[in-house]
Amino acid sequence: MSTMRLTNWLTLPWIPRRVLRNVSVIVLVPVSLLIGAAFMAQESTEPRELEIAALALAEDMQKSPPQGGWNVTGIRVNDKMRVEMDVEVAYHHQAEFIKTRSGRVKYSYLKLACPAPDAKVYRHLPKYEAVWIHLYFNNDLIVSGACPKTGGPFG
């Protein structure tokens, strides 16, 4: 007797089956379309887009090189699909000074090599990508990191 009541309650006898079917179609179809659209809307980083961004970065660095007399030694797209730039610190005393600092201070010096906030590279980079900088002195890595994103409330 109790299973019969439970079964009757689950089938909702007071609502006709065609109404339940129509409501489920009305709800499930848009929800499934939204889920599918959300998966398709995720940005996929294409190698071609990143190559164009790397070329724009090279152009930006020719127009406005890093501060402090530092030299850009390479710009590339790596295996992790990131735009990277190698920068050689010009003077030994600068490199030694940066090496002896904490991580935050090293990062603040790394930002000196980043492109200007209005640089072309940011127009060509996909939304969630950044320019990655590697600071070197005599082929010895000092610090690596991503340039801060522009346009947000804090950067």
pLDDT confidence of residue 34: 77
pLDDT confidence of residue 6: 47
pLDDT confidence of residue 117: 86
pLDDT confidence of residue 28: 75
pLDDT confidence of residue 9: 47
Contacts of 153 (CB under 8 A, 6+ apart): none
Q: Return the sign of the alpha-carbon dihedral for residues 113, 119, 125, 129.
A: positive
CB 155 within 8 A of CB 148: yes
**Which stretches of the chain drop beneath a pLDDT of 50?**
6-7, 9, 152-155
pLDDT confidence of residue 136: 94
Other residues' Cβ atoms within 10 Å of the Cβ of residue 91: 12
